[in-house]
Chain A
């Protein structure tokens, strides 16, 4: 099976407002998939369907099928703890906990009782290595995470996810709070992580989608207008609305 995620006919409602309409998408494993579109088009809502973070909002309803690694997750019997272990999320603003670097990364393994003692230290080490923070902070693991730069905080948040060994990383505009140099570094990190994880990134920044992603989906008013290889979307989009968006006609 090549697909990490398969979504069929997904409709999503906030109360009476229909935020997503008949979304169909197959996300391939070990690829970076970018979701673009103007504000309010539903791309973040869609992303949050994949780890059921929308469940925190009262009055929502999601209809349709979402399969993660072949398992249906859009129903009442899904174990959200298992799902969120498998499908991690990075947020728009880096949100490390106000704890030490070590405790941030150890948080997931601790709550899932995955490891303790030396084994836990190994997980923390390998996770920080994966996001390239280890060399700089191996002697400063007790430093408060909030004292890091925003870019380092975002890396730490990715390390925190990596520590629970997810398969899929959802990134909700992970660079919107960062400066250009930091953005480039996070993008490098994404390319580096691609071999181990399936990554879906929501971004406002079309150039970013063009730079990092293998495939791109274009959302408009709750519909997935077009979804194909990134090169194709940006050079020869098949839908007129996609073309208008990427050429800056609106959005």
Chain B
């Protein structure tokens, strides 16, 4: 009798924990929506999404998201272009080539890379990377989209490497044997059998990498220069969506249109990351079915 009572109590506790997690997500979404709907209703949507000027405190204020969206896109594309080839090569090396003991060292190293706080990476970016880029390209300042891309590539790399490595490891051994038994070399086997078989996992890794990069704030805030202008080159300071919220939320007058505009940015960011995660999920799911 008592046992039964405890069982049902524990069941309920687990149920409440589970529901709470979902409820919190829903509440956050409602809050974000509520605050941003006010902004979207009181401004011209086309002017917001395609406006090229972000002057939130001038008179009259201009809330063009485009420079911020493009800033985020530019930094993200740059980071992915760097992180995916390097990450793919690293994952192939770790899972296919490296000897056992070295494999463990590399895996631990990459996990440690994920453990570095982003502010520390940002700090390294300011002190080491930015001067290097400034000298290399002979720029007035090294705090550019390019610097942000490199920093973010480092941050996305652990996610990308470990997911691709998992994908490669889950390719059935029989494919590898079949290929080698046909006289294929190790490299041919990797390129023609293992990578195609792992392709959905690789796509998921790329998507999750993008999700990681586009949502990152601290490091980009520190190294991208934060100029909310239309980017024309990757060697230019840019301002991302995330950095805008982080930089301006502290000073904004609560209840002003600027305040709601920042929530609008948050909503746009939420929509972008939602679809990226959805895509990643679809790729991962396709692999299983």
Contacts and interface: CB of A to CB of B under 8 A. Distances in A.
A53 B179 CA distance: 11
B175 interface: yes
A9 interface: no
B183 A111 contact: yes
A84 B178 contact: no
Interface string A105-122: 001101110000000000
A91 B179 contact: no
A238 interface: no
A89 B182 CA distance: 8
Interface of A: 51, 53, 56, 80-85, 88-89, 91, 93, 95-99, 107-108, 110-112, 157, 160-161, 164
B175 to A, nearest CB: 6
Contact of B196 (A95, A98, A160): A98
B106 interface: no
A224 B183 CA distance: 28
A108 B183 contact: yes
Nearest to B193: A97
Given A107-B192, A111-B188, A95 B172 contact: yes
Nearest to A84: B183
Nearest to A82: B183
Interface string B187-217: 0100011001100000000000000000000
Interface residues of B, number: 17
Contacts of A51: 181
Given A81-B185, A95-B172, A112-B183, 6 more contacts: A56-B177, A82-B183, A96-B178, A108-B183, A108-B184, A157-B178
A89 B175 CA distance: 13
Given A111-B188, A111-B192, A97 B183 contact: no
A110 B182 CA distance: 11
A76 B79 CA distance: 45
Contacts of A99: 196
B42 interface: no
B190 to A, nearest CB: 12
A25 to B, nearest CB: 21
